[in-house]
Amino acid sequence: MATPAPVSSPLPQIPADITDALFHHAVDQSAIAISITDAAATILYVNKAFCAITGYAAEEVVGQNQSLLSYRSTPKPVYQALWAALNEGRPWTGRLLNRRKDGLPYVAELTVTPLAPQNGGQTHYLGMHWDATDEHRLAQQLTNHKQLIESVISVAPVAVALLNSDGQVVLDNPAYRRIAVEMRVAEPAHAVMSALQESLGEAFHTAVTHRRPLANHELRFERAGGGEARWYACSLTWFEERSTLPDAFYGDDRSDYQLLVMHDISASKRQEEALRLAAMRAMLSEGELNQSLREALSGAIFQLQGPVNLISAAATLQKRRAGQSAAIDPLARALADAQAAGEQAIATLQAAMPPEPLEPTGPVNLNEVLRDVLMLETDALLSAGITVDWQPAHVLPSVQGDPAALRNLFRQLVGNAIEAMNVRGWNERALFLSTVARDGQVEAEIVDTGPGIPEALRLKIFEPFFSTKPSRGGARGVGLSLAQEIVSRHRGVLEIDPRHVGGCRLRVSFPATRSVEAHG
């Protein structure tokens, strides 16, 4: 047997006079300005909010045309669009510039709705508006600030990039895009962030974790193809953006952004480099002079040591022959005097020997070392007509060592390559240099298009005093023994690529430092 549906109790009926009173009270107390006009826009009713916003009392506007509030600067097409919608029976919403009783303008957010005629009467219009002046001012200020910031960023000489939490560049400026073209990378910001992490190590992770700004950290970026390197003073700051979604109104949803600023300081760095190069040339010249003096004095000592040894042996032999009369034997005394004079001369030469230079060790960037060598060898490369293809790694870990010794190493290798190609009748003259970080090692390759090294001599060239070229004095052209000694001292490896044809390829590798130091 079906259960009968419950019978709902009828809603209580409110008397019409009470309903009209409630409606009139609600409209009159509304915070939105409400007005009712007839078809000719004559005001029939206004509420308290209307009076508060416009400054007019109800008796001052009832019976007046709604145009009483019109302000002279409101464009005519706005009113034309309003009346076109109303004549078609459609509501219209928009902003007008109205005038208060004191003559001051205000921005009105207005909605006008046509009311359907009752009993064949005329159409009436319901107007509702509120004062949007403050909102308009704040929105305009925000727009002005946005345009100002965009204009400043666009014309700023520094490169600016804004990265979201995923590392994507969401905003940049023309200076940043120029860097992308110069560095030949899609996003320079990614290379900069990698370089900062490589350069600062744990300090970078600490700054990221605690949102600490990084200011003016200098980084150097090599350019592919041997172009001039670029220096940038890089700054990194963080800021948070609150979510604009409705469900985050009472929440704390935020998004992290990173603001990267790159200031090109290449010009000032090039001036510093020029001064440093001049000082380095002077230091190398002094070092080469001292090395030449040491070699000359060592040779002189070696040349003297032989005759002094013979004189010493002859003096000993004559002393034995003279026996008891050795003290008065003229020959024995002459030989002894000659021996003493020779030993004194050797001691004087040894005292005049310049001391060996101290070899400080620390983090060294091989890109900088090779760049220094290329600058030092520029004249030799130009005079020999050798083209250079320099392909450095954008970011390279440091190696632990003596920068002067490493500079001497690569100068020896580059100098040998120049001499190998600088022979009469040799047409193809090109030098290729590159660096790369691989498997915990920092590798440098030097490739020349010279005659190469015969297989039978690839081990012999590392022997001291061996050379494949006639001796011309100095350290060059005397083999790779000095280079091998420097590489071994730095726990590295120097090898010749046996598979390379059409010249010689040398590969030098050193262990990268575990805690990478800043190298600018």
User: Domain-by-domain residue ranges, the chain?
Assistant: 26-136, 156-241+253-264, 271-351, 362-511
Q: Which band of pLDDT confidence, cut at 50, 70 and 90, is reported for residue 104?
A: very high
Between residues 497 and 436, the one the model is more confident about: 436
Using the Cα atoms of residue 395, residue 399, residue 404 and residue 410 in order, give the sign of their dihedral.
Answer: negative
CATH architecture of 156-241+253-264: 2-Layer Sandwich (3.30)
List, in sequence order, every residue forming a beta bridge with 240; answer none if it has no partner: 256
Q: Whole-angstrom Cα distance, residue 377 to residue 374?
A: 5
Q: Which residues of 90-115 are buried (b: 16+ CB within 10 A; e: fewer)?
A: eebeeebbbbeeeeebbbbbbebebe
Q: Same CATH fold, 156-241+253-264 and 26-136?
A: yes
Provide the CATH topology of domain 26-136: Beta-Lactamase (3.30.450)
Section 159-167 average pLDDT = 88
Bridge partners of 93, per DSSP, are 111
> Looking at residues 492-496, what average pLDDT do you find?
88
Average pLDDT over residues 116-129: 78
Q: Residue 257: name the closest of 277, 288, 276, 236 by CA.
A: 236
**What's the confidence (pLDDT) of residue 476?**
40
Q: Which CATH number fits domain 362-511: 3.40.50.720, 3.40.190.10, 3.90.1150.10, 3.30.565.10?
A: 3.30.565.10
C-alpha of 197 from chain center:
11
Q: Is the dihedral of CA 246, 247, 251, 257 positive or negative?
A: negative
* pLDDT > 70 fraction of the chain, expressed in percent and rounded: 84
- Checking if the pLDDT of 10 tops 60, the result is no
Instruction: State the Cα–Cα distance between residues 215 and 237, nearest whole angstrom.
Output: 8
CB of 135 closer than 8 Å to CB of 143: no
- Which of these ranges, 15-19, 383-387, 434-438, has the smallest mean pLDDT? 15-19
pLDDT tens digits, one per residue of 286-328: 766 766 676 677 777 878 888 888 888 887 887 777 777 767 7
Those residues whose C-beta lies under 8 Å from the C-beta of residue 393, and which sit 6 or more positions away, are 222, 367, 434, 435, 436, 437
Does this model's pTM top 0.75? no
pLDDT tens track for 14-48: 566 667 778 888 888 889 999 999 988 999 999 99
Residue 446, pLDDT > 50, answer yes
* pLDDT over 80 at 496, yes or no: yes
pLDDT for 314 equals 81
Residue with tokens 């007005």: 35
Q: How far apart are CA 156 and CA 298, in angstroms?
A: 62
Cβ atoms within 10 Å of 351's Cβ, excluding its own = 8
